[in-house]
Amino acid sequence: METQTAPPQARYSRPISGSEKVAVLLLALERELATQLLHRFEEGDIHLIRTASEQLKPITADDLTFIVEEFAQRFGRCVDFIDNPGEMQQLLTSALGRTEAEAAPASGDTANPDQVWQTVRELEEDKVVAFLAGEHPQTGAVLLARTGPQYAALIMARLPDETRDGLVRRLVNMRPVGGLAVAVLESGVAQGLLGDDGSQDIDRARAQLANIINLMDNDEKNAVLDALLRDKPAEAEDVKRRLFSFEDIEGLPDKSRLTLFDKVSTDNVVLALQGASSVLQELALSSLSARTRRMVEAELKRAGDSDEKQIADARRAIAATALQLAESGDIVLRVADED
């Protein structure tokens, strides 16, 4: 096993808790996979993640890179599960609890265990070779082991020497792979190798990028967008269309604005409206029920100078709610999108 470097804790721009890192990584995943992972968390953990996502402070582009690096390093240690099945069982027990870990499917036991690998065997060898060139050797080793010796031999004959030798070193000590490990690998192969024309993947990728940019502070956000505009202007405009901040509430269609403020807490509304423009305040207040509006107006009159961080967190939580509602189709973010 290769020596792993320590997680890049010291390089973060600020202390970032474990639950914050989990929230950022889940936001970066496609929705379906993130939902599947959340089902594996205990109720207390889900509460921590939800709280972290609602109160998440701005992160920099470097922070995001370090979070992914740290996750990759930690996951990298688990990737050697083929050489140490006991470590994988320990990981499952830690992640799922003993009862659920013991009930995890055995090697190859998935809802439809052969579907992915059978489909791979029907592909042109050159497509599989190109896919393996960009994948971790452990993924390649499992793929070759699961597609059968005849097909694997065809693939091995077309691989570059360095790639082939790396796979051979893993295959020589191959042990059974199962449970969550094989499920993750099958998901990656299905997405990366058996996907459609890629349009849905591109759409998801840009939505994920927009979610990440929404978490950044304004300076970092502008820097990322400026760089993207220079290199890929059309893609940048598509990403910008998916961005949303508290101030963008002024552009929400009336029906969407009513739906949004029906979902946010009164406390967050009171905090978020402190220091907001009179136009934005009136739009928000007019979206509340008469009783709630009176309560918010009374609180605003009594409110002193609230902490800027609390105000920013409340505004970010409302913006995050708007993005979630837009993703589920309950609202649209701009009048132009109503049709």
Nearest C-alpha neighbor of 266 from the set 297, 227, 236: 297
**pLDDT at position 281:** 93
**pLDDT at position 110:** 40
Its pTM stands at 0.45
Report the 10 Å Cβ neighbour count for 56: 21
Residue 182 identity: V
Nearest C-alpha neighbor of 269 from the set 214, 333, 321: 321
Distance separating alpha carbons of residues 73 and 95, to the nearest angstrom: 17
**pLDDT at position 228:** 86
Q: How far is CA 173 from the centre of its chain?
A: 33
Q: Which residue segments constitute the domains of the chain, with CATH numbers given?
A: 9-82 (1.10.220), 104-195 (1.10.220.30), 197-243 (1.20.5), 246-339 (1.10.220.30)
**pLDDT at position 192:** 63
**pLDDT at position 227:** 85
5 to 73, 74, 76, 77: CA distances (angstroms): 7, 10, 11, 10
Distance separating alpha carbons of residues 50 and 142, to the nearest angstrom: 35
Q: Along the 339 residues of the chain, how does pLDDT read in single tens digits?
A: 344 444 444 577 778 888 888 888 877 776 666 777 777 777 777 778 877 777 777 777 777 778 877 776 665 544 444 444 444 444 444 434 444 444 444 443 443 546 777 777 878 888 888 888 777 777 778 788 878 878 888 888 888 888 888 777 777 666 665 555 566 666 667 666 666 445 666 777 777 788 788 777 777 788 888 888 888 888 888 888 888 889 899 999 999 999 999 999 999 999 999 999 999 999 999 999 999 999 999 999 887 777 888 898 899 889 889 988 988 889 998 766 655
Nearest C-alpha neighbor of 125 from the set 151, 93, 164, 86: 151
**pLDDT at position 222:** 83
216 φ/ψ angles, rounded to the nearest 5 degrees: -85, 160
38 to 9, 41, 162, 289: CA distances (angstroms): 25, 5, 38, 34
Given a contact cutoff of 8 angstroms between Cβ atoms, the answer to whether 7 and 73 are in contact is yes
Write the DSSP symbol of residue 28. H
